[in-house]
Amino acid sequence: MKLYEYTAANLSKLLRKKEVSSVEVVQSFLDRIELVEPYVKSFITHTPAMALDMASSVDRKRSKGEKLHPLAGVPIAVKDNISTQGLRTTCASRILENYIPPYDATVVKTIKQLGMPLLGKTNMDEFAMGSSTENSAFYPTCNPWNFERVPGGSSGGSAAAVSTGMAPLALGSDTGGSIRQPASHCGLTGLRPTYGRVSRYGLIAFASSLDQIGPLSLTARDSAMLMNVISGYDTLDSTALPEAVPDYTACLEEGVNKLKIGVIKQNVSEGFDPEITAAVMKAVALLKDDGAEVDEVSLPLTDYGLGAYYLIAPSEASSNLGRYDGVRYGFNAGGNNIEAMFSATRGRAFGPEVKRRIMIGTYALSAGYYDAYYLQAMKVRTLIRRDYEKAFKRFDVLVGATTPTPAFKIGEKTDDPLQMYLSDICNITDSLAGVPSLSVPCGINSVGLPMGMQLTAPPFSEGLLLKVAAFLEQKRTYFPLRPRVKLPQGGDF
């Protein structure tokens, strides 16, 4: 095996045993990026020199016998809405195309301190608004399993980078499914932590009450290792919660015996792709065979989740994106007066989907409509949270499909925003409730595309989700960790 083919956990072992150097590991991924990136387009900004410098520093420290973190020397990619000091952070938007933050996000500061080389900033839907990475102002990212398909969104660049072996780990952000959905489409493990579990300081805001940073990886163990790094209280984030951080790798081998599993009726519905439903139920059978107690559960407010989400998230986006006016930082289109400058700047530099959500949110918050729309949506959100609280009195983990369909073709839904929004129908209620949720691969469909199973647990139960995911991975004998990337002109690598 080549180094880029290893999981993060295996790379960690090789580095700690000094069987390879961090420079060798990073160079393997940089070579892979050079080969694959022209076809997949996962990255917005490449940082090879920075990655090699960080790797050299780790190697020097290791040679001196310094005690290092297990992930020291293991490289990582970071979604381009997470601030990086001195390095362009665009949110895949023209309005921030040349923006260079003066500070690091807390998660970035942490991974740098631990010695994790940064391979680059990954592509995404503009300001994280989308489900396909087609809304990037620069270019769409392709699904590594089929270049004609989307990788999911909005963390599609991070997912595609890990899936193709261009990075062993990546950070994404999840507002209404933006980690879990691309994880499903690209055959990865993707975890949205409990709201408040991971610091949002330095995450450029889309919807502040929903946004959360989390890992994308090949395995549950890799995600657990990264969660050990990024979790915890942060005084710089007023929404971070002072909850003790466990060792997420400690319980991965425990199995699922006697766990109470609830199959969410609404997430294996008749309208879903039948192959996905069948794959989810096959995974449920594996859990039952190992001693888990399985029963069906209904979350009645699920049908109202989509409407509530697409009022709350755009409303918060309307507020958060008001700061991009061309005056303080970012693109400035100029104009004869201040109103003309604002209009030209925002009109030219925001993409269609961002404009659509700003308009929806501004309308929902406007005088005379606030009570009818935004306030009602917040009441529904409270009821959705109560649905989950009731379900968790009976069950340890809730399961269902991550997505209603496999990855769709690039361009298939761009002219129909409602169909695009429906791509997140399985994910948004977890986000509204603020509970942790994880997508784990559960099979390959008849045309060779990955399918994902979503696991949801009570707040701060990320370890439980990772344990169930690890169990399912042990049973995974029916498809590879990564695809063979097929070149458009023929052949593969």
Which residues are tagged catalytic?
79, 154, 178
- The total of other beta-carbon atoms located within 10 Å of residue 404's CB is 18
Cα distance between residue 305 and residue 425, in whole Å: 8
Smallest Cα–Cα separation from 264: which of 441, 453, 393, 464? 453
Question: Is the CB of residue 25 less than 8 Å from the CB of residue 11?
Answer: yes
Cα distance between residue 4 and residue 15, in whole Å: 13
Neighbour order of strands in the sheet with 118-122: 43-46, 118-122, 76-79, 169-174, 212-217, 189-192, 437-444, 450-456, 397-401, 260-264, 293-297
- For residue 475, count CB atoms less than 10 angstroms from its CB and return exposed for 0-12, middle for 13-18, buried for 19 or more: middle
Question: Is the CB of residue 43 less than 8 Å from the CB of residue 123?
Answer: yes
Output the six-digit token pair for 353: 């989907």
H/E stretch holding 442 reads strand 437-444
H/E stretch holding 451 reads strand 450-456
Residue 241 dihedral angles phi and psi, to the nearest 5°: -110, 135
Question: Is the CB of residue 60 less than 8 Å from the CB of residue 72?
Answer: no
H/E stretch holding 455 reads strand 450-456
What residues contact residue 454 under an 8 Å CB cut-off, 6+ apart? 180, 184, 267, 399, 400, 401, 402, 426, 427, 430, 437, 438, 439
What residues contact residue 278 under an 8 Å CB cut-off, 6+ apart? none
